[in-house]
Amino acid sequence: MEITLKNINSGYSEIVLENINLEIKKGTWNFIVGKTGSGKSTLLQTIGFLLTNIQGEIFWKDLSLADLKNLKKYRENIGFMFQYTDKQFFNNTVKEEIIYSLVKKKKSLKEIEEKLEEVLNLLKISKNILQNSPYEISGGQKRMVAFASILIDSPKILLLDEPTAGLDVENKKIFFETLEKLKKEGVTILQISHLLEDVLDYGDETIVLENRKIIQKGKPIDVLKNSDLEFIRFCRVIEKYGIPIDNIKNIDELLERIKK
């Protein structure tokens, strides 16, 4: 397993999540869903080891994060995107924000410029905003800049808290195409989302939180069968006619199954 949580109780000054046990496979796209206040962000920050109040055991590739050497290496492999992107900005310009991690690691100027060019092209970010303050660009641009700032360091694990909120259709398409590409390269993704369509279209596994506990984990179509989403309701009707709906992620796959 890429990440394993055993008997975790975690929170801030007080415990929020109780008795969390979870296994995340390498190279999978995992969505965390649940109502407001169910503990989604706390779970993501627990997995990122960003909280000081964590009781229990967390393992990365069978290495205990109780060992500070393992924890340091783990953090070097993680890219975390907060729900409110302003929380992760602290540089004067967009360019400084994006390249910060490479500068901190004392990478060469040549490598930094090459990596910057690569991530700007990947996310189609205009060079015209590089000298702007990250606080003064649009909400959608902030999200893409925040994304660029973690991708530039080639993380192996992405922890994303509502990353597409406020993105227009074009940028959301770029965002998801990028994540699909990274997943194919073996990157493990954990993403919080309230859009069930996204969960169905892209998710390998869905983790459902309720009352600050994990109540279900499995394939999106199985976990979300009781949702009010029209697609899911249609799938349930189709299933009654003997058409299997296992592993169907979207309407196109469903129609193809019906044709067969």
pLDDT of residue 117: 98
Strands (E), the chain: 3-11, 15-24, 29-34, 53-60, 63-64, 78-81, 157-161, 188-192, 205-210, 213-218
Q: Are residues 31 and 93 in the same domain?
A: no
pLDDT of residue 36: 87
161 within 8 A of 82, measured Cβ to Cβ:
yes
Please indicate, yes or no, if residue 83 is contained in any of the structural domains: no
Decide: helix, strand or coil at residue 59.
strand
pLDDT in tens, 126-183: 999 999 999 999 999 999 999 999 999 999 999 999 999 889 999 999 999 999 999 9
pLDDT band at 240 (very low <50, low <70, confident <90, very high): low
Q: Is residue 22 scored above 90 in pLDDT?
A: yes
Q: Are residues 114 and 162 in the same domain?
A: no
CA 213 to the chain's CA centroid = 19
Please indicate, yes or no, if residue 72 is contained in any of the structural domains: yes
pLDDT of residue 88: 87
pLDDT of residue 201: 86
Q: Where is the domain boundary, 137, 154, 171?
A: 154
123 within 8 A of 178, measured Cβ to Cβ:
yes
Q: Where is the domain boundary, 136, 154, 172?
A: 154
DSSP run (H or E) holding 172: helix 169-184
pLDDT band at 74 (very low <50, low <70, confident <90, very high): very high
Task: Work out the percent of the chain whose per-residue pLDDT is above 90.
Answer: 73
pLDDT in tens, 167-225: 999 999 999 999 999 999 999 999 999 887 788 889 999 999 988 999 989 988 777 76
Decide: helix, strand or coil at residue 138.
coil
Query: 32: burial class by Cβ within 10 Å (0-12, 13-18, 19+)?
Result: buried
Q: Are residues 14 and 126 in the same domain?
A: no
Q: Is residue 227 scored above 60 in pLDDT?
A: no
Task: Work out the percent of the chain whose per-residue pLDDT is above 70.
Answer: 88
Which residues neighbour 45 within 8 Å (Cβ) at sequence distance 6 or greater? Answer: 51
Please indicate, yes or no, if residue 202 is contained in any of the structural domains: yes
Range of the domain at 39: 1-77+155-219
DSSP run (H or E) holding 27: none
Q: Are residues 50 and 168 in the same domain?
A: yes
Q: Pick the closest to residue 16 from 35, 47, 41 (CA basis).
A: 41
- The model's pTM: 0.87
